[in-house]
Every structure is written in C-alpha cells, then in structure tokens.
Chain A
Amino acid sequence: MKRDSFSVLGKLFLPVLTLLFIGQMAYAQQSITGMVTDAQSGEALIGASVSLKSDPTKGTITGVDGSFRFSASQGQVLIFSYVGYITQEVTAGLQTTLNVALTPATETISGVVVIGYGTQKKKDATGSVTAISSKDFNRGSIVSPQQLLIGRASGVNITTGGGAPGEGATIRIRGGSSMSASNDPLIVVDGIPLDNEGVAGMRNPLNAINPNDIESFTILKDASATAIYGSRASNGVIIITTKKGAAGSKMKITYDGKASYSMVGKTIDVLNAEEYKAFYQELYAGNETALKVLGTSDTEWQKEILSNSFGHDHSLALTGSAGTMPYRASLGYSDMNGILKTSSMERWTGALSLDPVFLDNHLKVSINAKGMRENNRFASRGAIGSAIGFDPTQPVYTDGGKYGGYFEWLQPNGDPITIATQNPLAQLMMRDDRAAINRLMGNVQVDYKFHFLPELRANLNVATDLSNSQGFISVPDSARQNYDIDGDGNPIGGIDAEYKQQKKNELVDFYLNYVKEFGKSRLDVMGGYSWQHFYRKGNYFEANAARTITNSDTDYESESYLVSFFGRVNYSLMDKYLLTFTLRNDGSSRFSPDNRWGLFPSAAIAWKIKEESFLKDVDAVSDLKLRLGYGVTGQQNITSGDYPYLARYTFSEITAQYQFGNHFVTTLRPEGYDANLKWEETATYNIGLDYGFLKNRILGSVEYYYRETKDLINTIPVPAGTNLTNQILTNVGNLVNKGVEFSILGRIFSTEELFWEVGYNITFNKNEITKLTATDDPNYKGVFVGGIGGGVGNTIQIHSVGSPAYSFYVYEQVFDKDGKPIEGLYVDRNGDGKISADDKYLYHNPAPAAFMGFNSRLNYKNWDFSFAGRVNLGNYVYNNVNSGNGVNAYMYNTAGYATNVVQDALYTGWVNPKYWSDYYVQDASFLRLDNVSLGYQFKNLASKKLDLYLSLSVQNAFVVTKYTGLDPEVYSGIDGNIYPRPRIFMLGLKLDY
C-alpha cells in the first residue's frame, strides 16, 4: 500500500516540479531604491526579500537599515516578502524610490479567516469564529497539536489524557452536545475533514501533523459557522491550516530543535515502609498468618516505575518560491521518553506543500502532502495502580524467582496468587507492547477562476488520508501478568499478540463560488458537493507466548460513506449589514434509506455598528459588531459501528463455541439494531459582540449561546424483550448547553522596543439533560454511568433529567464534630429511617462551571518572555485512588498477601470501602501555569544571513489546587490511575537562514 501511495504522489508532483525550471524573459530596467518597514511598528525589516514576479530568480534582500536597491522595468511587478509578513506586490512605475510597509502575517489571520469551503474577512464574519495563529501558540515541548491550543480560546476546553509522550487530548467546544455519540469536534486539516476515530497503535491520531508545520487554527463555534459541515458539526469545527511558502520569496531554511527533560512531579501519598509496618502490625496484632507476610525491604514502588526522562525534537523546513510556485518542505523528528518506564514515542514527519499558479493567476493549484511514521511503546498503566497498592516492605526482586526474578505474591505451591497485586515494575518490564504507524495525508486542490467570468470560480479538492498500523504485544510465559498453567501444570501463559490496521479515507469536494458587488451590495454565493468514504480493515491475533493456544483471532472490515450537497449565501449591504444563509443536505450510509438524509440550515446577521455614522468618527471605538445566529447541526458519529440500522448476525470466536454432542459449534448471534436510527440534531442560538478600542489596542468579544440537542443518539435500555439486546443506540432525549464567553486581548505596550500583550478568556457553560427516555416515569432515576475501580461494575455517576450529564450520584457523608468523616454514616435524605440506595443524591459534576485561559507575551529588544495558563472553577473529581486504597479491611487478604493504603486511610481510619460517600467527590478547581518561556534573538549572524533564537521554557510549571489527588485535571471526573503529567524543562534553538 505504501509503495502505491508514493507512486501516486510521484505522478502528481513530477509535472509540477518540471514547472520549477521553466525560465522567464527579462525586460529593460531602471534602478529603484527604498525601505521596507513593519506596517505596525514602523521598524525597518532587515533581510526582507525583493524580487521580480516575472522572474523570481532576480532579487535582493534589504540591508541592516531596511533599505534595498533593485533594478526593474516599468510595469514589472515587484514582490516584497518577509517571513511572518504578508507578501506585497507593487508594480514598478516611473518613480525610483519605493517604500513598502509590510503587514505582519499574524494580521492575516485576524484579517482573513478560513471557514468551511473558503475564506472570509474576519470583519465580515457573522458566526462565532476564533482564529489562532502560530505566534499565539503555546510554547514548550509539544508533540501533539491539541496542546498548542490549550487555554487559548474561549469556549474551548482541552484536557490531555495524561502525561504520556504524544498523549491524546479531549477537546470540548461549548460543552458536549451529545451523550452516547462522540462529543469531539470535527477537525479539518487543509481541507480534509478527518474521521473522529483513532488509529490503532496511536495515542493521538492528530500526531500525524507536526506542530511546527501548523500555521493556524480556526475554531468555528456557533451553528452559522459550522452548519456548512452539516451532520458532523454539532460539536464545533477546528480547521487546521499548515504553513506554505510565500510567492516570490527567497529560499529560507529554518531549523528548530528542542531538548526536553521531563521530571516526575508529585506521587500519590501512600504509607512508606516504616509507617506501613507500624500500622499493619497494630491492625493485625496477634494474627500470626497476617503478620508473617510482612517483608523487610523498603521499596517506594512509585519511584520504581517512574523516572525522569529526556526527549528531543528537531525540524527542518525549507520555504521559498520556485518561479511562480511557492513551496514549503519540512522534515521533523521527535524522540520522547515517558516518565512511566518503558513508554516512548518516536516520530518522523514530512510535509510538502506546493502552490503553483497557472493561466495568469486564474488557475491555482494547491498540493499538500503530509507523511508520518510513528513508533510507540506503551507502558501498562495498570502498573500505576499496582504501585500504589503494593506492600512497601517487599523487595522488587527476589533471587532465583521464577517470575522474571521479580518478587510476586505466591501460593505455597509456588504458583502466583491470582487475585494479588502484581509487581508493578514487572508489569512494565515484562511486557513489550509496541506499534508502528505510517500515515499519509494528501490533497490536491484546484481553484479555477473563469476567464470569461472572473466573479465565478470553481474549486475541486481531492484528498486521501491513509494509515497503516502494525503492533505487537509480547509477554513471556514466565511473567506473572498473564501466568497460566494447563491441567498438568505446564506453563501456557504469556502473550504473543499482533494486530494490524489499515485505514483509508477519501474525499472529493467540488464547489462553485460567485462573488459580485452590485452598488452598495456584495453577494457571495457558494454551492457544492462532497463525497467522503471511510474505510478500515484490521485484525487482532492473540496467542499464548508459546503460540500453542489461540485466545483471539479476529478481523474486521468496515466502511461508511457521506455524500453532501451544500450552499452558502453571504450578502452585505453598505458594508454594514451582513447576512449569511447556509444549507447542507447530508446523506450517511450509517442510516437506513428512510432516515438517511438530514437537512441542516443556518442563518445569521451581523451589524457593523462601527460603520454607522454615529460611531464612525469616534476614535476610541475602533471596532464594534453585533452578531445574531441560528442554525441546526447534526451528529452521525455513533459508537456502534457502521451498520446500526441493519439486522445482522455475528459468528462466535473459537473460544465462545457451544458443545453439542462431542463437537463444538460456532454460534451465530443476531445483533440488536434500531432500523429507525437517524441524525441527532442540535439547534444553536448565538448572540455575539466583537469589540475593539483604542486602535484595537484592546479587542475581543463577548457571546451568549444556547444549544439544544434533540433526538440524542443515546444508549438506553430497550423495553425488555423488544430487541436483541438490552440496551440500544437510539434517538431519545434532549440536552441543553448554554453559556457565556468573554475574551479580551490588550496590547499594553506596542513600541519598537517594548511590546506587551495580555490575553484573557473566560467561559461559563451549563449543561442539563432535559429528557432521557421514551417515557416520563417520575421514579426513573436515570442512567448509571462512570464505572469506578473497586468492585466490578460499580458506578459513581448518573445521567438524570434536570441535571448535568455525568453528575455524581452519592451518599451525603456525615462528619463528626472535628470534621472527620464517620465511616458508613450517611444522611437519611428521604427520611425513611434507613439508608438505602434511595438516599443517594446528585452532587456536582466533572465539568467546570467556569474555565479561563490567560496568557502574556512580552518583547523587549531581543528578549521575549511569555507565559500561558488556565483556571478551572467548580470542576469536581471523584478521588478513586483514595476510595479504592483508603481503607484498611484488605491490607491483609486471606489468600496470603498484603496491600498498601494511601495516607487518607490513616486519617479516616475507615475499614471497609465506602465508594459512594461524597467525601471522595472533591472540588478540583485549579490554576495551572501551562508554560513559561524566555527567549533571546540573535540577529544577523554569519554575514547577516543567519538568525538564531534561543529559548528556555517550562511546561506544566505548577498547579494550585485544593484537590488532594495527584492532578485535578481529569476529564472523566474519575481519578483512577492517571499517567502523571511531568514538569518539562526545555531548551530550544531555532536557526533561520
């Protein structure tokens, strides 16, 4: 497959490359001199490139004072470019002096935003759109694109899954609008909408994109912005645009290298060997069998499995313009080791973008290709829990031990005690779990402006996203973790597993766009069609280490299609009143022909108040715009496969056969299905005000939104006997999210030497389930969710009508006069004289009531200093580490082993687990300083050809919280065994040549 893909690419690129060498004619010339400056600061731009459009090989660069001298003929077009600035074209006239002020490219982003199927001037946007460009990205050792955005945009809450290298993150835009279906936003990379599913063997599917290649993110939040993506847009859209070469610019080489050192931070506060021994001996005084299991070692198990680790990251980019064709090529390499031993990630990325222009600028072709190879090694996260619970008086290793030399809890006959805690280090070291992934994303976009009707253009985008993963898991049969013996006592355990996955997503988009100004009106009409195919295939094979027993041998192959028709009308009157209508009709193969098509309309108006005569001349107000929008978006990203409406039968695996007579029969199971399953629909109302004061020294926006999801795709109990399952994915229930967002950006200083910008955003979101089942039984409590560790099938959360999703459902703890919780004593909330399940109540939820982001950037001469952080308020976390390890009843298990407890066990003195006490639901509000960075720029080294930038940064600098667990940031709200987030120190070196 790989070879095919590259040969396809080869076919595409060869003709394009040929174009690079087409020569151009020269003209009669005159000498022109001038200055190139920064349009904002007036500062001279050193090293800016000046070239001839007709012959980019002819050019010069500006000197130390920004001046240049260049020869050109009258009528020739000169191109002025500088990295980070918008390229300008100036036609040479009679004058011999030409001063050019270039606008910083970051202004491009705030000036023009990428929207679905096109771009728009930010000032003309009617929807809620936030754009974030590379200069505003978070800094630090970043391998996952999501992390660039954390805390940067109001309404966008990003929580990483933990501290593993390349870890994924959960992104929620304005709360989740779905229940069982995905709540992830749609992510569109250079015009390719990705599928939301993961790639086998990758922690984070977005890792295919090197953060160094990303130019900007655009976040579409309200329906008038997102509805153009129809059925996939209910949870917002994030558009990622990668960097490109600038037309006419000279070749530039950029090297960006980082070395990072990840340090283990806090660990769970468990009893140390001394405390443990004292507590245990007191607890089991007189119980000889219990006392004799105590060991004599002093092992800090968490320290055994965690270690500080190094990582490094390099990228090399080549940007420029070959003739009329801007290009950018980059290579990246990252090698990161996790702080949990054995976890690592190694990644190579390559990206190429070519943007040739033909036919006198009428035909623009944009070619993007991104390739990635990632090698991951996964550490068994079960080791984190084992390290908390392992008896600290036991040694890590035993001499001549049969389980890889590691200490394990054994039966008298030498076999392991199967229910005992496993040696955490053995769990890591005796498991080799690796995956290698190749991924290639590429598209060719052809944009043709009709010669006879330049107002009309046609755009065709053909894209593909291929991935190919291979992984294996290997555990020797001597390892305790998968130990098994046959009836004769021979080892038959261990794991020898391998898996493969191939994914192929294909896209064809075509649209026509007509833009025309009629007097004071401007009309922009777009209509198009989109076809997308998602295909995946894979297998999983698992045998014991000796490959004598096959435990699993499954394969799968599945696909789905989306076909859509869409259109948009933008109308502006007198550049004051803006109107947008969009309509999309989506067909999905995941639904039956009767329910297949969904229609998603939206409408929005905006009023540029600033343009009104009463404000036009008020200098203090530089921008004021009111936006109102309404729209319907959909959700089809369901979790139960590609054929939920079809009646299907599934064969059993070899290990789930049934004996008839003396033979075993492979069974055929009918699957449950809902033939009437259809789209989930979210209606969004949005009102927003964009403001700018004092020449936009202060700018931002404030918005209110109300989103109601109907026909929620939700897994609910079916009336017993009516389906071939007890719970079905169907359309039932309603959910409301409402909230207020506010963002402000202030440029406190903006002079040549001193520049200081401070940004802040805050979002209040409230989530409420308004309907849950087909019937309205007042006694129906809701759907129990949120499985916890401890016991099997215990849950701590509930979806209940009238409350936020995932609310905690617990008993109200009674405390003694000293404020200490009393074991097993709860408030009899229903007053029936006894404590039963009916006394549980809804108590907070994991989503923050408000979350904020703040950041600051200070430049002084060649120095720059920046930091960014976040505050979450009112997010609650169930401390499952304490509830599971905070009681002493099981310190000695009669099977013959002992376990450790957390310090909280000493405080409460509780004996038996009290999982449902609200004592364990804790306020996890926090302030986290995500990164701090200090940098110094050395300019004009090596004969003024080289810029050098050095930086030092700290990621995850500190967290302030009252939460007693390891880390207050737990997306699910259930703090189990989180991969600890390290504090990362990083040294960066950037060279521009």
Chain B
Amino acid sequence: MKRFSKYSLLVAALVLGFASCVKDLDTVPLDKDEITSATVYDNPASYYQVLAKVYAGLAVSGQQGPAGMADISGIDEGFSTYLRQYWCAQELPTDEAVIAWNDGTLRDYHDMDWTPSGEFITAMYNRIYYQISLCNEFIRESSDAKLDERGIAGADKTNIQGYRAEARFMRALSYYHAMDMFGNVPFVTEEDAVGAFFPEQIQRADLFTYIESEIKEVEPMLPAPKANEYGRADQAACWSLLAKLYLNSKVYMGSEKNTECVTYCDKVIAAGYSLAPNYQHNFLADNNTSPEVIFPVTFDGTYTKTWGGMTFIIHAAVGGSVMKPADFGVDGGWGGTRVTKSFVHKFYPDLTGPLQVSPVYIPKKSGYPVLYVPGSYQGWDPAKASTVIASAKADGKYEGYLYFADANTQFKFADGPSWDVNYGDDGANGTLDRNGANIVAADAGYYKINVDLPALTYTYLKTDWGIIGSATANGWDADQNMTFDPATGIWTAVLDLKAGEFKFRANDGWDVNYGDDGANGTLEQNGANIPIANDGSYTITLKLGVPDYTYTVVRASYDRRALFFTQDQNLDISNLFAFNDGFAVTKFKNVTSTGTNGSDMTFVDTDFAMFRLADVYLMYAEAVLRGGGGTISKALDLINELRTRAYTDESGNIAQADLSLEFILDERAREMYWEGTRRTDLIRFGKFSGGAYLWEWKGNAAAGAATDSRFDLFPIPATDIGANPNLIQNTGY
C-alpha cells in the first residue's frame, strides 16, 4: 500500500481542486427583474416603487397583469384581488347584490351560511394579511435608522419618511377591514421579521385603539387634502377612515364615539371637496376627474390590468341578451350581479312587478307597404328607408309621422325607392300630380302625413303631443305635454300619475288621439283608454313614425341614482343563478362622462372610490342623529345637497322631521349601493343577521329567513386556525 501515498496526494489535490467549485453554490438571481433585499433599498427610487406596490395591492392580482405572478395563491387569480373580494364580502351577503355564479362556495355569501373553509372568505383574509405584510416590510425597511445606515439623507430621506407614513395609513386601512370583518385577528407589525412564528391574536377593541392611534400618528405626516399625487393617501383619507372607525365604534369596541365622528367629518367637509354635479360621474371611466373622490383605488385598461377589481364589478353587472355590453364600454357581459327586490324598494317602495306597466309590444314579422317621402330634410333621397309612411291595410292609403327640423321644408312622395314614379302637388291644391311640384311645410315640426294614392289626395298636419286622463294631474280637462327627441324620434314625459286612465292626443284636441285597443302595446285612433293601476311616477314614451304606433309606460324615479336595467329582468328572484332574475344595475361603466369608451374594452379605466364626499355627508348626518353633536340643520343641508343632485332639483328634498336613522340607512343604500359599505352599515343598524330585516334568499330561503348572529363576523379561515395555534375561532363557528 506504500506506493499509494504519492498518488493519494494527487487525488487529494484533485478533490481539493473540485472542492473549490463548492463556492458555486452561493448563487444570486440572474434575472434583471429580480433584486435581492440586500440591495434593493440602496436605491432611493426603489422606495417609491415598493410604495406603489403597497397601493397596487388593492387593485391588481400580481406582477404581470391581468394575470400571472400572483400575489396570493390557493384561489383563482382573477378572484384573488383585494377589491373584488372586498366587494363580494361587503355586498353579496346583503340586500344590495346577488350573483349568478356557482363558483365554489360563492353562493354561501348570499345564503349567509358560510363556514371557515369558504375559499372566498379565506381569500379576503389572505389579501388583508398580504397587504399588512407588504406594509410591514416597507415600514421595517424605511426606518430612519435603516435610511441612515444606507446613507440616504436630505430630500430623499424626507420623501421616504412621507412614504412610510402612507404605508402606515395603508396598514391601518387593512387592519380596519380585518377588524370589521373578522373581529379578533392575528396582530403583526414591522417589529416581527418575516419568518416562521405564530402571531398573537389581538382583541377587536384593542385593535380599534391601535388603528386609531396609528392614523392619528401619521395624519400630521401626510400631505394636506388633495396635496398628494392622485391615487395616494392624504390627510382627508385619514379623516374619512377615522370617521368610519368612530361611527362603527359601538360594534368594534362597545361604546359610541359619535362626537369624534362628527369632528372628523367636519374636517373632510371643510377640506375643499365638492359633490360631482352628476351622480354617475363618480362611477365612470373618467371618475378620476370627479371633485368628490377622496381616496380611490385606481385602474387602467392599458397599464393596470386585472380580472378582478373594477373589471369584475363592471363586467359582472352586464348580462342577458338585451343589455348591450357596448353601452358599458366593455366587450361582453359576465352575467353575474343583480339586486334584490328589497333594494329596488328603496327607490320604488311598492313595486311588485316589472318597471314597465304597459303591455310589451311584439313587432310584426313583416312590414307594411311603404311610400317614400324624399325631401330637403333628408337630402332628396327617394330610397331612404327611414323616411317613409306606410299602409297598414295595404289599401293604398298611407300614413306616418315625419320630423322636419327646418321651416319651409320641401318634400315629395315617391313610389320608390327611385324617382321613377313620384308625386308632387302642382298648385298646392291637395291633389297629387305625377312629377308635380314640391310640397312645402311652412313650419318646422313633427308632421302627420296621409296619402290616399288611389284618390291622389294627401294631407299633412303639424302635431304636438300630450297626455290627458284621469290618471294625470289635470284629469280629462287639460293635457300634460310631452317632449320630442329628434335623435330617437320618441316623445317622452315623466309624470306623477295616480291610479286611473289616460290617452295620447295631439294639439290639445281630440282630432288626433290614440288609445290602446286590446291592451297589446299598439295604439289606435280613438282607441281604448290606457289604465294606470298604481300611483307613482312614470316615464311615458310615445313612438309614432311608421305604423305600428307604440308606447311604453315605465315606473320612473325622479331619483337619478336609480340606475337599473329592467328590460327582460324580473323583479323577483326565483333562481339565484339566473341573470334575468333581479334587476340589473347600470351604475358603473367603462365609459367617460362625455360618452367615449375607456382605453380597452376588456380592462377598464374606471377607478373605485374607497372614500368619497357623499359618504362623509351621510356619516355626519348619522353621527349627529346618534347624538354626536354637530348641528341638525347642517345634517339636513348635507342630506338635501345629495338629494338635490339626485333629483336635479329640490323636489326630493326632505324636511327635518323626515331625517331619522331609518331614513339614513335607506339613503345610504340609495347613495352608496355597490360601493362596499352595505354589510358594515346593516350590522351597525342591527339588521344584518337575525330577523329584523329580511331580503330575498337571505338565510337560503326565497323569501328570506332569519340567520344566526354569528354571521355578523366572518370566521377566521380554517387555514389560519390550522396554521396558527394561537388563534381562537369566532363565536359560533
């Protein structure tokens, strides 16, 4: 074995040589899209980008957009966004929303029979804690000590200190959601490093104190209202959150803090925000320009893409075969969300059926013979199909209505679609002459035109339309005028009607009048009176043009916040999974206030207002009524400001006597529906669980059923109970 020795040296050298390769094991990421935490914070610009992720955590599902590199796992990525889960948790268990989808345990939300294993509740919880972890990481890494250590000073340091205050606000916001939905929850701050440990469970009341102190501490460090970049938190966001915290303090920690609520509402009200003149502007693709939005979650069809968030809220609300996705600025509906009848009653208290009370007109399969009416008003085109009159009996006697926008409009009749056989009136004597002179209508207006071709006679009569009858304010004595829209060719009137009857007539006389024989939705000269069964306000439309003449009578609300789509939608919900059961909602759109579509038809530009001024007005009024001080007259003024906007005039304003807590709850529904506050509001009023207030399918019963009070809190998800032995499940689960 001796000869071995010199070679064993060689072998040893070889092995040592290879062993130097052991250092290869110390790898660092090669991908330029990845930075290690050891170096990321050396660059002051990184802090801004990490802060952007803290905010983006409310909007997107991951780093790729619309999907890919998800933030949280265990659930479909599209479902996983913060806002989508927040919306579902706050809206689907209430009277404001039902959803047609059968995904996992989604239905449990509306049935109010969820369990700790529900994946959507779990996703909400995970999102909240993901957000808290993101904030903790940033807060931990942006302490003054760490900045000094990295040599970051001067303006960079000042900026980063501001970002840190924003991150603390964002953490307080998510802890607020955790407290509101889950009660006693795990408590983790920047003091806890990332790693394997079991967080302690904090009591809801203690968490309340923590959130309150955090917001108050960061408030002076944040920019003044509207002084920060759009999309980022400022002092008004802090005040709004504090107001919410105090308004619900009885639920969270057992005692009322309405005085504090009034104080912070006052601060927001004085901060320079104003109501957007048009209510719906807050929910459109350019709502970033609304003067009312205090703190938004931002979306963009090009740069902030997600299958959750507003993409979900807008697409899910569109469905059925009549709603046109294009009207909502999207390429298709997902046929999901509608409202319950109980909610519709906030706008139409006695509604029992469809909004349209008139018979539904079913179009004839084939049209009637037509006579073309070319003229100066339509470019002298004898082939234009939209400017014709028709013969309903095919007997050569034609009738129809045409609109002449200008005075001295000239026209002729053509047995078109060509000039081959055309008629005018030489001598303006009421008889038609082949190739005769142009006929002239002296005044602009809406003309009834009749032609008897066998007899070669014609008449034309300018008409203005109105409604008369026992259902109207003036009874059978005088007309209520209608207004004409040349773009649609439809006469409209919005009127308060009482139970009774009415007819349409022209020119305040009975020469030309229409009623509905056979109640089939088509109108006949001297036809039967049209019945109105219930008092209420109605929108009445009259469509003449070419026979058949039709009309609709639809329940109307002067309250412009009632943004429903009702055609083909049933008021009652017999099947939760059928989109046609329940009125659809047209509140949110990917269309701007000027009517142009967002930048993309799939992913939307519309932002979500987490806090807006109207909410603060309502909170102020409620806190005053709950004894929080302030003044009742200011409360009334604020509420009437909202109602004046809703009604476009003061007709909907209320008196001080009407301003009750009950009224506030309903008014919150009318103003704030689908904005993620309903569950919290109902709980504050004691109307969420239990039997005090029932709506369709609450408690998994068609008419609604009482539910257990445990549902006022969501359960801590089973996954976390399993992962963290320190947690005690909420009572009853």
Binding site for B on A (CB under 8 A): 289, 411-413, 415-419, 450, 452-453, 483-488, 492, 508, 510, 512, 529, 531, 533, 537, 549, 552, 554-561, 563, 565, 587-589, 593, 596, 642-643, 646-662, 664-670, 672-676, 715-727, 730, 773-775, 777, 779-781, 784, 790-795, 836-838, 889, 893-896, 912-913
Contacts and interface: CB of A to CB of B under 8 A. Distances in A.
Interface stretch (B61-69, B367-375, B463-471): B61-69
Contact of B303 (A537, A659, A723): A659
Given A777-B722, A793-B76, 15 more contacts: A483-B331, A487-B596, A488-B597, A587-B25, A589-B24, A643-B29, A646-B36, A650-B69, A651-B34, A652-B63, A656-B304, A660-B232, A675-B195, A717-B722, A775-B723
Given A726-B126, A781-B718, A415 B326 contact: yes
Contacts of B26: 589, 593
B186 A665 contact: no
Contact of A415 (B50, B332, B720): B332
A587 B22 contact: yes
A685 B669 CA distance: 67
A673 B196 contact: no
A727 B74 contact: yes
Contacts of B199: 719-722
A717 B719 contact: yes
Nearest to A458: B11
A781 B719 CA distance: 9
B33 interface: yes
B380 interface: no
Contact of B724 (A483, A664, A719): A719
B714 interface: no
A895 B320 CA distance: 4
Given A555-B33, A659-B304, A561 B721 contact: no
- Which 6 interchain pairs have the tightest Cβ spacing? A418-B332, A487-B597, A656-B65, A655-B65, A721-B188, A661-B229
Contacts of A642: 27, 29
Given A419-B335, A484-B602, A512-B11, A647 B197 contact: no
A792 B336 CA distance: 13
Contacts of B331: 415-416, 418, 483-485
Main secondary structure of the interface of A (DSSP, over half): loop
A229 B507 CA distance: 99
A717 B27 contact: no
A790 B331 CA distance: 22
B129 A721 contact: yes
A555 to B, nearest CB: 7
A896 B324 CA distance: 12
Contact of A589 (B27, B37, B40, B188): B27
Nearest to A724: B133
B333 interface: yes
21 contacts: A415-B331, A419-B334, A453-B4, A484-B600, A487-B329, A529-B18, A558-B31, A563-B21, A650-B33, A651-B33, A651-B49, A657-B52, A657-B303, A669-B71, A719-B197, A723-B195, A773-B723, A779-B718, A894-B568, A895-B333, A913-B102
Contacts of A596: 25
Interface residues of B, number: 125
B305 interface: yes
B578 interface: yes
A662 B331 CA distance: 26
* Listed residue (B73, B132, B306, B598) with the most chain A CB atoms within 10 angstroms of its CB: B73
A588 B25 CA distance: 6
B220 interface: no
Contact of A658 (B60, B101, B133, B302): B60
B115 A838 contact: yes
The B interface, classified by DSSP as helix, strand, loop or mixed, is: loop
Nearest to B59: A658
Nearest to A488: B597
A350 to B, nearest CB: 31
B49 A665 contact: yes
A651 B45 CA distance: 13
Given A653-B65, A665-B49, A894 B304 contact: no
A912 B59 CA distance: 33
Interface string B102-132: 1111100000010101110000011001101
Contacts of A726: 72-74, 126, 129-130
B197 A912 contact: no
B720 A719 contact: yes
A894 B321 contact: yes
A587 B21 CA distance: 11
Interface in B12-65: 14-15, 18-19, 21-22, 24-38, 40, 46, 48-50, 52-53, 55-56, 59-60, 62-65
B605 to A, nearest CB: 9
B24 A718 contact: no
Interface in B655-710: none
A666 B129 CA distance: 22
Nearest to A420: B332
A155 B728 CA distance: 45
B304 A558 contact: no
Contact of B34 (A650, A664, A715, A773): A650
Contacts of B136: 721
A919 to B, nearest CB: 17
Contacts of A559: 27, 30
A559 B31 CA distance: 10
A793 B52 contact: no
Given A563-B21, A894-B320, A721 B65 contact: no
Interface in B542-560: none
Contacts of B577: 889, 912
Given A557-B30, A660-B230, A674-B196, A668 B722 contact: no
A794 B119 CA distance: 9
A780 B116 CA distance: 10
B9 interface: no
Contacts of B724: 719-720, 775
A593, A660, A775, A896: most-surrounded residue (chain B CB, <10 A): A660
Contacts of A648: 29, 34-37
A657 B33 CA distance: 14
B196 A774 contact: yes
B303 A661 contact: no
A561 B18 CA distance: 13
Q: Which interface residue of A418, A512, A658 has the most chain B CB atoms within 10 A? A: A658
Contact of B53 (A533, A558, A668): A668
**Max chain B C-beta neighbours (<10 A), residue from A657, A662, A780:** A657
A443 B68 CA distance: 38
Nearest to B320: A894
A558 B52 contact: no
B528 to A, nearest CB: 26
Contacts of B230: 659-662
B145 interface: no
A556 B34 CA distance: 9
B521 interface: no
B25 A561 contact: yes
Interface in B361-384: none
Contacts of A655: 64-66, 302-305
Question: Chain A CB within 10 Å — which of B31, B55, B326, B720 has the most?
Answer: B31
A912 B102 contact: yes
Contacts of B722: 717, 773, 775, 777, 779-780
A486 B603 CA distance: 10
Given A649-B50, A655-B303, A895-B319, A791 B101 contact: yes
A161 B79 CA distance: 29
Interface string B309-338: 000000000011100111001011111000
Contact of A656 (B35, B102, B187, B305): B305
A837 B319 CA distance: 30
B580 interface: yes
Contacts of B304: 655-659, 664
A485 B7 CA distance: 75
